Amino acid sequence: MRRSTIRPRRRPESLVEIYEVFRRSGHKQPFEHCGSVTAPDVGMATVMAKECFTRRGEGRHLWVIRRADIHTWSDDSLPDPAADKSYRFAHAYRDVVKKRALARSRAQADAR
């Protein structure tokens, strides 16, 4: 195939930045990350985000945030806490059924 002779013109460092987009379909839902766009400022990023992520009415509210302003954290060891912290979860209180039966029989004994 014949190659084009046009070369990309060297531009000064592009000022376009990455913006992360979060979307919410209504007041009962949380905002969810839905993608990112590139734009020179937040106004243009919002225009792009609306066109890219709400074309079919999927979102009623958008957050558009410069990626550089987002602080991220992740830790794969998170599921294994150093100490037993099961008391923070409902399953730690499963024997409440047994305890209820016990308390009932005690109450009946007292009534007699």
- Residue closer to other proteins (CB basis): 38 or 105: 38
Q: Residue numbers of the site for other proteins (CB under 8 A)?
A: 1-4, 6, 8-9, 11, 14-16, 18, 34-41, 44, 51-52, 55, 72
Minimum CB separation of residue 48 from other proteins in Å reads 8
- The alpha carbon torsion through 102, 103, 107, 112 (nearest 10 deg) reads 10
Rounded distance, CA 48 to CA 39, Å? Answer: 8
For other proteins, which is the closer residue by CB, 41 or 102?
A: 41
The amino acid sitting at 56 is: R
CB of 5 or CB of 108, closer to other proteins = 5
In the block, residue with structure tokens 């830790």: 75
